[in-house]
Amino acid sequence: MLDSNCIFCKIIQREIPSFKLIETDHSYSFLDISPISVGHSLVIPKYHAQKLHEIPDEYLTDLMVTVKKVALKLKVENYNILQNNGELAGQEVNHVHFHIIPKTDDGSGLSYKFKHLEEDSFNLDEIQSSFNR
């Protein structure tokens, strides 16, 4: 299932050019057009959905295998895998995608700093109980 209005679906259908790396029956990978490091790549499912939990399992399995293959082919020792779900999480294209971002000695690549929550700002038992329902 593809969406004719989605830029990534258009890339899959070859309506928009890309620098293809690996293609399978369920996944397509290509170089990012606005890389933050050399080799910055994307892996997308050939199934249109905005969020990871909306993707059928057979596509997810293939996505992760393809992410691994791209990471190995890049031949970099350090890299980040980034996948955002929703605008608040930083998702800019509403089609599931994984970034493979090489991290190099020159400092290029993904930079981030986690903001940790205070211990009393959440209830661990409440979170755990949602998994037991």
d(C-alpha 76, C-alpha 42), whole Å: 16
Radius of gyration of the chain (CA): 17
Residue among 26, 97, 99, 116 flagged as catalytic: 97
Question: Environment class of residue 97 by beta-carbon count within 10 Å: exposed (0-12), middle (13-18) or buried (19+)?
Answer: buried
Alpha-carbon span 24 to 27, nearest angstrom = 5
Question: Among the residues of 22-123, which ranges form H helices?
Answer: 57-74
DSSP helix/strand/coil, 59: helix
Note if 97 is an active site residue.
yes
Residues that are catalytic:
97
